[in-house]
Amino acid sequence: MYKVKVENVSKIYDINRNRIAKVLSLLTFGKLYKAKPFYALRDIDFEVNAGDSVGILGLNGSGKTTLSDLIAEATVPSKGKIHINGRTSLIAISAGLNQELTGEENIRIKCLMHGLSEKQIADRYDDILKFSELGEFIKQPIKNYSSGMKSRLGFAIAIHTDPDILIVDEALSVGDETFANKCIDRMRDFQEQGKTIFFVSHATGQIRQFCNKAVWVQYGEMKQFGEMKDVVKKYAEFVNQYKNLTKDEQIEYKDKMVGIQMEESQHLDLPKEKINMNSVAIGTLLFLFMMFGIVFQIFSL
């Protein structure tokens, strides 16, 4: 039985920044508008079982965060489907906290939104505070926090909300070593409980430490999925090769790959927006009713 199944998933962004065109598209329900599609992910396809810990590898801008957002169901794929059995919790550097509120308020609101009862929150509050090591700072607004503090708080909240699937998006790279180790210990507990973990990183170190599976995304495409050792080996080889290039060559390579990604995107057909005739009919009816209401009001003045 799979825990997470990613089926031919693509995430397509429209990078047409022409404002007038956008407004026009809103008014005409997508007609009269030429989108400029760009796929951040294309045809990603894999399946993960309970108890697996999956590393998501890739260079900067390859689509790792897009993929983790999709798995966390924070965004929706443009094409394809993601099936998830269980509740997800995503930990990212920009932890999804309200900047204006204090750490304490964020803990309570986040936990409520994750479906915890107030009693459960009261029980866990001290644990969360202790784990986050924020101490007195918990009464400060999040906007005054350092990035390490934010990620600590985000991590502390996320692991206390009983997720079945934990997604860690580079959140450990900003904290210090001791905190990272504490988190890794906690994640090992999760592993033992048979929970599924996704671990996003551009470096192989931590993935080697505790993942058994890995996905390598490269410029929006899935290069490889399988046993961690195989994928990491291939990825490390690639990174070494890449590192041996001169600065100019590296930039040239990146530009070339993005160019290909752009080029490929042009041939992509965006999923057509279907106009639901049912809705149009009801909308028209209601519109006519409104017109009647206005006319009636005019005559009864």
Partner 1 sequence: MKNVFALLKENFENLHLIWKLSLYNIKAQYANHYLGILWAILMPAAQVGVFYVIFGLGLRGDRGDVQNVPFLVYLITGIFAFGFISGCINAASNAISSQIGLVTKMKFPSSVLLSMSMANNVITFMIMSVIVLVISLVNGYSEPLHYLVWFYFMFATIIFTYSIGLIMSSVNILIRDFKNIQANVMRMFFFITPIFWEPAGRPPLMETIMAFNPLAYLLMTFRYALIFDGPAFYGDVSDHIFFWSITLFLFFIGVQVHYRYKDRLVDYL
Binding site for partner 1 (CB under 8 A): 13-14, 22-23, 26, 69, 72-76, 88-90, 92, 94-99, 101, 105, 108-110, 112-115, 118, 278-279, 282-283, 286-287, 289-290, 292-294, 296-297, 299-301
**58-62 contact pairs (CB < 8 A, 24+):** 58/202, 58/216, 58/217, 58/218, 59/202, 59/218, 59/239, 59/242, 60/202, 61/219, 61/258, 62/217, 62/218, 62/219, 62/220
Q: How far is the CB of 113 from partner 1 (least distance, A)?
A: 6
Q: Residue 275 Cβ, how far from partner 1 at the closest point, in Å? A: 10
**With respect to partner 1, which residue has the nearer C-beta, 91 or 217?**
91
Rounded to a whole number of angstroms, the minimum distance from the CB of residue 233 to partner 1 is 31
**Residue 163 or 231 with smaller CB distance to partner 1:** 163
Which tokens sit at 68? 């983790």
**Three-state SS for 52?**
coil
Measured from the CB of residue 105, what is the shortest distance to partner 1 in angstroms?
5
Max distance between CA atoms of the chain, in angstroms, equals 83
State how far the alpha carbon of 180 is from the alpha carbons of 90, 151, 243, in Å: 16, 10, 26
Of 147, 102, 89, the residue nearest 129 (C-alpha) = 102
Closer to partner 1 at the Cβ: 13 or 210? Answer: 13
CB of residue 74 to partner 1, shortest distance in Å: 5
Tell the smallest beta-carbon distance from residue 64 to partner 1 (Å). Answer: 14
Nearer to partner 1, 266 or 297 (CB): 297
Which residue's CB is nearer to partner 1, number 246 or number 300? 300
Shortest spacing between CB 44 and partner 1, in angstroms: 18
Which residues are CB-neighbours of 169 under 8 A, at least 6 positions away? Answer: 64, 65, 68, 90, 91, 92, 93, 200
User: Does residue 12 contact residue 44 with C-beta atoms inside 8 Å?
Assistant: no
Nearer to partner 1, 102 or 224 (CB): 102
DSSP SS3 for 221: strand
Half-sphere CA count of 219, side-chain side, radius 13 A = 13
* Cβ contact 2:48 at 8 Å: yes
The closest of 141, 140, 163, 144 to 91, measured between CA atoms, is 163
By beta-carbon proximity to partner 1, the closer residue of 246 and 278 is 278
